Amino acid sequence: MKKITLLFLMTILGSQLIFAQQRYVDEIFTDVDVTEDVTYGVNATVLLLAQFQEAVPQPLMADIYTPAGDTETERPLIIFFHTGNFLPPTFNGGCGGTRKDADVVEMAKKMARMGYVTACVDYRLGWDPTNPEQVNRVFTIINASYRGVQDSRTAVKYFRRSVLENSNPFGIDDSKIALWGFGTGAYVTYGSATLQETQDTWIPQFLTPNGPMVIPQFNGDVSVDSVGVMGVEGLGVPLGDTLCYPNHVGVDDSFNLAVQMGGACGSLEWVDDAENDVPMISYHVTTDPFAPYIEGIVNVPPPINLPVVAVNGAGSVIPAANVLGINDALTGGLDFIDGVSDYVNSVNGGNEGLFPFFSDDPTESAPWNFAYAAEPYGVMGSDCPTLNDDITSVRDSVVQYFVPRACVVLGLDCDLSEFTTSVDNIEAVEVGLTMSPNPAQDIVNLTSVTEPIQEVLILNATGTLVSHTDGINAYNHIIRRGNLAAGMYVAMVKFKDGYVTQRVMFQ
Average pLDDT for residues 436-441, to the nearest whole number?
93
Query: Is 295 a member of any domain?
Result: yes
Query: What is the CATH classification number for the domain harbouring 460?
Result: 2.60.40.3080
Question: For residues 152 and 459, what is the distance between their CA atoms, to the nearest angstrom?
Answer: 39
The one-letter amino acid at 73: T
Query: Is 440 a member of any domain?
Result: yes
Claim to verify: residue 232 and residue 381 sit in the same structural domain: yes
Instruction: Tell me what pLDDT residue 463 has.
Output: 65
Claim to verify: residue 378 and residue 449 sit in the same structural domain: no
Instruction: Tell me what pLDDT residue 4 has.
Output: 40
Task: Tell me the backbone φ, ψ of residue 393, rounded to 5 degrees.
Answer: -65, -40
Instruction: Tell me what pLDDT residue 339 has.
Output: 79
Claim to verify: residue 357 and residue 478 sit in the same structural domain: no
Average pLDDT for residues 293-304, to the nearest whole number?
88
Query: Is 259 a member of any domain?
Result: yes
Query: Is 43 a member of any domain?
Result: yes
Boundary of a domain, candidates 389, 420, 451: 420
Claim to verify: residue 141 and residue 279 sit in the same structural domain: yes
Claim to verify: residue 68 and residue 135 sit in the same structural domain: yes
Query: Is 479 a member of any domain?
Result: yes
pLDDT-based confidence at 352, cuts 50/70/90?
very high
- Phi-psi category of 39—alpha, beta or left, where left has phi over 0 and alpha has psi -120 to 50? beta
Claim to verify: residue 286 and residue 405 sit in the same structural domain: yes
Question: For residues 488 and 486, what is the distance between their CA atoms, to the nearest angstrom?
Answer: 7
- Considering only residues 234 and 214, tell me which one the structure prediction assigns the higher pLDDT: 214
pLDDT-based confidence at 496, cuts 50/70/90?
confident
Torsion of CA 208, 209, 212, 215, to 10 degrees: -120
Query: Is 44 a member of any domain?
Result: yes
Instruction: Tell me what pLDDT residue 19 has.
Output: 57
- Considering only residues 237 and 170, tell me which one the structure prediction assigns the higher pLDDT: 170
Per-residue pLDDT tens digits for 55-70 = 999 999 999 999 999 9
- Considering only residues 343 and 10, tell me which one the structure prediction assigns the higher pLDDT: 343
Instruction: Tell me what pLDDT residue 3 has.
Output: 40
Boundary of a domain, candidates 420, 450, 477: 420
pLDDT-based confidence at 17, cuts 50/70/90?
very low
Instruction: Tell me what pLDDT residue 151 has.
Output: 98
Return the H-helix or E-strand segment holding 162: helix 134-165
Claim to verify: residue 338 and residue 447 sit in the same structural domain: no
Total domains in the chain come to 2
Instruction: Give the predicted TM-score (pTM) of the model.
Output: 0.84
Query: Is 356 a member of any domain?
Result: yes
Q: Evaluate if residue 14 carries a pLDDT over 70.
A: no
Query: Is 1 a member of any domain?
Result: no
Per-residue pLDDT tens digits for 391-411 = 998 999 999 999 999 999 999
Mean pLDDT of the chain: 92
The one-letter amino acid at 410: L
Claim to verify: residue 175 and residue 111 sit in the same structural domain: yes
Query: What is the CATH classification number for the domain harbouring 130?
Result: 3.40.50.1820
Strand partners, 406: none
Boundary of a domain, candidates 397, 420, 443: 420
Rg (C-alpha) for the chain, rounded Å, is 24
pLDDT-based confidence at 502, cuts 50/70/90?
confident
Claim to verify: residue 109 and residue 92 sit in the same structural domain: yes
Claim to verify: residue 450 and residue 371 sit in the same structural domain: no
Q: Evaluate if residue 380 carries a pLDDT over 90.
A: yes
Q: Evaluate if residue 305 carries a pLDDT over 90.
A: no
DSSP state of 23: T
- Considering only residues 222 and 274, tell me which one the structure prediction assigns the higher pLDDT: 222
Claim to verify: residue 184 and residue 69 sit in the same structural domain: yes
Q: Which residues contact 262 (CB under 8 A, 6 or more apart)?
A: 83, 182, 183, 186, 283, 284, 285, 288, 290, 291, 365, 366
Instruction: Tell me what pLDDT residue 461 has.
Output: 67
Claim to verify: residue 258 and residue 379 sit in the same structural domain: yes
How many Cβ atoms from other residues are within 10 Å of residue 335's Cβ? 10
Q: Evaluate if residue 452 carries a pLDDT over 90.
A: yes
Q: Whole domain around residue 486: which residue ranges?
A: 428-506
Instruction: Tell me what pLDDT residue 161 has.
Output: 98
Q: Which residues contact 191 (CB under 8 A, 6 or more apart)?
A: 145, 146, 148, 149, 152, 265, 266, 270
